Amino acid sequence: MSQQNPADDARMDVENLYREESFTDRKVGSIRVLNPVTPDGADDASRPRLFIGQASVYTPAGALPLNFELEATTLAEAIEKFPAAANQAVEDTMRQLQEMRREAASSLVVPSQGGPGAGDKGGIQIP
């Protein structure tokens, strides 16, 4: 049986390379533009540019970073779509956090009301 070298998993996908540019207003967030390139660094016109919005939501626990795709073909279009996409990312994140809270609350272990020897094993009940 051969062992897999962990470095094999770190091999870059040369068919999926991008050059990154970042634009920000220094207030609301930033937009990362991923420009496709060939393995030699030349622009790859056969693939579309990708636009990724980035913003932060401030919570009592600190800043929560948000990343979201912007369906756009130009920077101007990405800027125009940024507010709606950021709002949707906030809503999705809040929904996920609420679901995580519900799951955590439903997995709590509650001590048995009868105590040890009251018909249970170890005095712990799982609701």
Instruction: Tell me what the mean pLDDT of segment 55-65 comes to.
Output: 89
C-beta of residue 53 within 8 angstroms of C-beta of residue 110:
no
Q: Residue 9 — pLDDT band, cuts 50, 70, 90?
A: confident
Q: Across all residues in the chain, what is the average pLDDT? A: 86
Helix (H) or strand (E) holding 50: strand 50-59
**Location of structure tokens 């220094």:** 26
Question: Is 0.75 surpassed by the pTM of this model?
Answer: no
Distance set, CA 121 to CA 102, 106, 124 (Å) = 27, 21, 7
Instruction: Tell me what the mean pLDDT of segment 61-83 comes to.
Output: 96
Q: What is the pLDDT of residue 39?
A: 95
Residue 81 has pLDDT above 80, yes or no: yes
Q: What length is written for the chain?
A: 127
Q: What is the pLDDT of residue 35?
A: 98
Write out the two tokens for 23: 């634009």
Instruction: Tell me what the mean pLDDT of segment 110-122 comes to.
Output: 57
Return the percent helix, strand and coil in the chain, to nearest 5. 30, 30, 40
Instruction: Tell me what the mean pLDDT of segment 44-60 comes to.
Output: 94
Domain boundaries, the chain: 12-107
